[in-house]
Amino acid sequence: MSDRVRIGIVGVGSISVRGILPHLTQDDVQDRLQVTAVCDPVPGRAQAASEKFNVPHAYETYEALLADGHVDAVSIASPIGLHYEQGKLAIEHGVHAHFNKTMTTTVEEADNLIASAAEKRVKLVASPGQMLRPINQEIRRLVNDGALGTLTWAATGSAFGRYHENESVRHGDDLLSNINPAWYFRKPGGGPLYDMTVYGLHTLTGILGPAKRVTAFSGVRIKKREFRGEMLPCDMDDNTFILLDFGEAFFAFVYGAAAGSQVRGGLAIHGTTGTIEGGSFNGKPIPDMELPHVVGTHRNIQEAHVYEDIMQLVDWIREDKPTLVTAEHARHVIEIFDAGYRSAQTGHAQTLRTRF
């Protein structure tokens, strides 16, 4: 392999068009990487992206992309329910992989990818890399230094609303601007947990460490959604409410809802002498800084955090420099979601087994 990492983009959907491809084709990163291939099953979409972003190879199948051998790594930006099988194929070909959130939908799938990657010496980076953010590292320091006193409870969560239906790439007339969001509402891999709550839960567990038990209620609240005059069926749970047990009577509330917001700033951690709420400690803002690679033009391009996670993989490949954005952390968050759905189905609390 040359000093430039050859990257293939798997899926030319919203996140790739708005963020991944604009970031990775900027001039300032071409000394470290080159996007050499894109693939997408929608006829013509990969070719359209290839032409717009000057990518040399376009494919309608992922298998063809891997078979041609033009990539050292892939960024898997397909619907979440496809990530496990696509990750497996990358590993089998000896190709390093970045997973856009969430890496898999079950803890057993995550186990398999991690074990297979270790055997093949393939590097895995799994978004979202929330603990790369300096503000989250500072919150972790405050918690560990006892600034909040004895921790009492915490909360995080997100809601779908109509965010995906209203994205800028949904309502145009060409292949790169008329991308249908239907998969976000279907099994497997749809729903607000895997897509949105994953951010807050990565932050929460990154600061507090692994949880021990889960109990939850979950179901489908919105059965159909309207998009450009079409009614999209919704069969994936969109209203899930989880209680996490971190041990010693310290609990956290986690939600992924169809609509409505409860936690200001996406994060709350309460203690006997202090509170973290969003980006503040006891009402005072916590200073923050940019992510390491988000400089220059990258500050003004969408999905900069995804670009940062991909660059973590690039650095790891080029410099053997491991990252905080680990598959093991992603697996623990996945187990919480997996166990939450199982708890809702069975009516029983679930004990967690993973650590990071």
Sequential DSSP letters for 261-273: --SGGGEEEEESS
Whole-angstrom CA distances from 51 to 165, 242, 273 are 26, 45, 57
Helical axes 198-208 vs 134-144, angle rounded to 10°: 40
Residue 291 has pLDDT above 60, yes or no: yes
Q: Mean pLDDT over residues 278-298, rounded?
A: 96
- Is residue 80 helix, strand or coil? helix
Chain segment 126-174, per-residue pLDDT in tens: 999 999 999 999 999 999 999 999 999 999 999 999 999 999 999 999 9
In 3D space, the residue among 244, 291, 290, 293 whose CA is nearest the CA of residue 269 turns out to be 244
How do strand 96-99 and strand 124-126 relate by DSSP bridges? parallel
Chain segment 316-345, per-residue pLDDT in tens: 999 999 999 999 999 999 999 999 999 999
Residue with tokens 């990492």: 5
Chain segment 68-113, per-residue pLDDT in tens: 999 999 999 999 999 999 999 999 999 999 999 999 999 999 999 9
Tokens coding 188: 């497997």
Between CA 76 and CA 59 the distance in angstroms is 14
Kindly tell me the burial class for residue 87, based on how many C-beta atoms sit within 10 Å of its own C-beta (0-12, 13-18, 19 or more).
buried
Domains of the chain: 5-129+292-323 (3.40.50.720), 130-290+331-351 (3.30.360.10)
Residue with tokens 């680990």: 326
Residue 305 has pLDDT above 70, yes or no: yes
